[in-house]
Amino acid sequence: MPTEAVTPLIRGIAVLRELTEADGTLSLSGLERATGLARSTVDRIAATLARMGYVRVDGRDVHLSPHLMELGNAYLAALRLPALLSPHADALADELDESVSLAVADRDGIRFIHQATRRRAMSLSFRIGDLLPAERTAPGPLFATEWTPADWQRWRERRAADPRDLSFTAVPPRTYGADARYDEDFVRRVEEASANGWAVDDQLIEPGLVAISAPIRSPHTDGEAAAHTDGEAAAGEGRIACVASIVSHTSRHTAHHLRTTLLPRLRSAVTEMEEELRRTPPPEPGPPPSNLALWTGESKLRLGRDFIESLARGLTVLTAFGEGRPELTLTEVARATGLARATARRALITYEHLNLVTTRQSRTFTLTPRVLSLGYPPLSRTSLPEIAQPHLADLTSRIHESTSLAVLSDSGEEIQYTARVTTGRVMSVNITVGTRLPAKATAGGRVLLADRTDDRTSQHILASVRSDGYALVDEELEEGLRSLAVPIRDRAGRVVAALSTAMHAPRRSLRECVTDLLPELMSTATHIESDLHTATRFTHVPLT
């Protein structure tokens, strides 16, 4: 470890990785055992990460929070590939009715940056950020065509140290250990991929799973990239930017059928993707995060010893990168975060040691795909009810009333409750998750209907809801029942859900609902929306 590395930052990264490997939740004692750190250190790291909004501590358990995805989002935004190519991958998946993925190389493995999966009884469980060994995939041989001798040596050392792929938790472990014939087969597959320009996975990960892949090449090959490859790129071609794959099951396609039937369409889609990369100009740099150093200082004053400032400041360095900011100098990182150059430099040295950042010959720093190992896989499959649940619990504890999240049915005539937290009272509102109620007679329903421009019923009421930003329904659904709701909006500003509370009318007057409860609901809605917007930047979040 470099002498200038930040030890608390290394420990914090270790905690995040263990939580990721545990699918997002681990007890404090479990983290202590997994990391080998003292319990007091684990407690302080958890408190710091909770203050940053990256984890939630619930009793003795620590849960990853959607806000942590901003670290992976920084890498994906800087990469640009998901934003430019995901629509093409989604369209191909819809056309073929098969799963389509995009993957990038991560040393001697591959890591997914986009998944367009089909909903079937037998479907893929791979997530954005999952890491797979190169030799057990279709993209792997394509990436390996650009490996240097050092890359091949690293791969052989990894195969010897982990013959059953136990370090790759996204795939089933091998039944048997290292096999020289299997490694020779991968070398042969790399040679074939180099000659053919495509590669297949014929049930290498598990029985029944087949895939075919084709490379998407960058429109430009800089001097450093060209020096990295063993061979010469074809005239006019750059290095492999990512690989597109069609993934299916042998009950639908054999590996041979993928080659003869779907490969031509895959190649056509890849051509469209490469054209997208060529014609899209680099984006203007977006605004970097601001006042991060000031915020960490204030947090240290508030939490005292429980807040590890060097960990928090180190993590903010990752957020300096993003759209239009794929490569930054040390000065630019320090300026973006508000950190001293020495502090930013030590953090970057630490990240380079952890393979989260790489240095280019131009003395600039870039994020690596390994940033996605910090919580992204389990969080990329979260749903809106899962995002909202802890916020509902906090709201209920403050207002001492039951709270709910609801969405509009496909017909637009009913709302369906998707999350709920109840409070202990002798007389309470009996609503459970899954309950459906008439939309027009509920506060949540009116909030949702008010956002529908094509709704022509109850225009006066809905216009009032739109202008006020909330709905208050007094004993219309049931005598003695009073409810209040506010909207939950997605990144585009559309209302996708309603946050509501319902109570027995004598407990609070209409005025008290507005003066006491409405600010609390609006504050909670803002927190839910913040998590939702972070989670949906590069992933799809189901509403139910």
Closest C-alpha to 495, from 441, 421, 415? 415
- State the Cα–Cα distance between residues 18 and 35, nearest whole angstrom: 7
Question: Number of helices (H) and strands (E), helices first, in the chain?
Answer: 21, 17
CB atoms within 10 A of CB 356: 22
378-390 burial by CB neighbour count: b if 16+ within 10 A, else e? bbbbbbbbbbbbb
| Residue 61: its H or E element | strand 61-64
Q: What is the pLDDT of residues 144-171, one digit of tens each?
A: 999 999 999 999 999 999 999 999 999 9
Q: Is the pLDDT of residue 275 over 90?
A: yes
287, amino acid identity: P
Helix intervals (H) in 162-285: 180-196, 223-228, 255-257, 263-279
- Residue 449's pLDDT is what? 94
- Residue 146's pLDDT is what? 97
DSSP state of 118: -
DSSP state of 273: H
Q: What is the pLDDT of residues 362-411, one digit of tens each?
A: 789 999 999 999 999 999 999 999 999 999 999 999 999 999 999 999 88
| Residue 259: its H or E element | none
Q: What's the pTM value of the predicted model, to 2 decimals?
A: 0.92
Residue 13: HSE in the Cβ half-sphere, 13 Å Cα cutoff: 25
- Residue 125's pLDDT is what? 77
- State the Cα–Cα distance between residues 309 and 48, nearest whole angstrom: 8
Per-residue pLDDT band at 464 (split at 50, 70, 90): confident
- Residue 224's pLDDT is what? 38
Q: Is the pLDDT of residue 235 over 50?
A: no
- State the Cα–Cα distance between residues 382 and 475, nearest whole angstrom: 35
Determine contact, residues 110/171, Cβ cutoff 8 Å.
no
- Residue 350's pLDDT is what? 98
Q: Which residues pair with 101 in a beta bridge?
A: 115, 245
Q: What is the pLDDT of residues 98-124, one digit of tens each?
A: 999 999 999 999 999 999 987 765 566
Cα distances from 79 to residues 47, 266, 282, 290, 322, in angstroms, run 31, 22, 11, 21, 8
Average pLDDT over the chain, rounded to an integer: 90
Q: Which residues pair with 499 in a beta bridge?
A: 405, 486
- State the Cα–Cα distance between residues 36 and 31, nearest whole angstrom: 8
- State the Cα–Cα distance between residues 251 and 461, nearest whole angstrom: 53
pLDDT: is 30 or 300 the higher one?
30
Per-residue pLDDT band at 453 (split at 50, 70, 90): low
Question: How large a percentage of the chain has pLDDT more than 70?
Answer: 92
- Residue 80's pLDDT is what? 95
- State the Cα–Cα distance between residues 169 and 167, nearest whole angstrom: 6
DSSP code string of 13-46: HHHHHHHHHTTTEEEHHHHHHHH---HHHHHHHH
Q: Is the pLDDT of residue 237 over 80?
A: no
Residue 466: HSE in the Cβ half-sphere, 13 Å Cα cutoff: 14
- State the Cα–Cα distance between residues 491 and 455, nearest whole angstrom: 22
Q: Is the pLDDT of residue 230 over 50?
A: no
DSSP state of 83: H
Per-residue pLDDT band at 175 (split at 50, 70, 90): confident
Q: Which two tokens stand for residue 106?
A: 């991560």
Q: Is the pLDDT of residue 96 over 50?
A: yes
CB atoms within 10 A of CB 298: 12
CB atoms within 10 A of CB 158: 19
Closest C-alpha to 200, from 273, 264, 147, 259? 259
Determine contact, residues 360/395, Cβ cutoff 8 Å.
no
CB atoms within 10 A of CB 337: 25
Q: Which two tokens stand for residue 82?
A: 């998901």
> If DSSP codes are grouped into helix, strand and coil, which group holds residue 143?
helix
Q: Which residues pair with 472 in a beta bridge?
A: 484
Note the Cα 515 to chain centre separation in Å. 37
Phi first, then psi, for residue 491 (nearest 5°) are -65, -25
Q: Is the pLDDT of residue 202 over 60?
A: yes
Residue with tokens 């096999």: 179
- Residue 124's pLDDT is what? 66
Q: Which of 27-31, 428-432, 459-463, 511-515 has the highest mean pLDDT?
A: 27-31
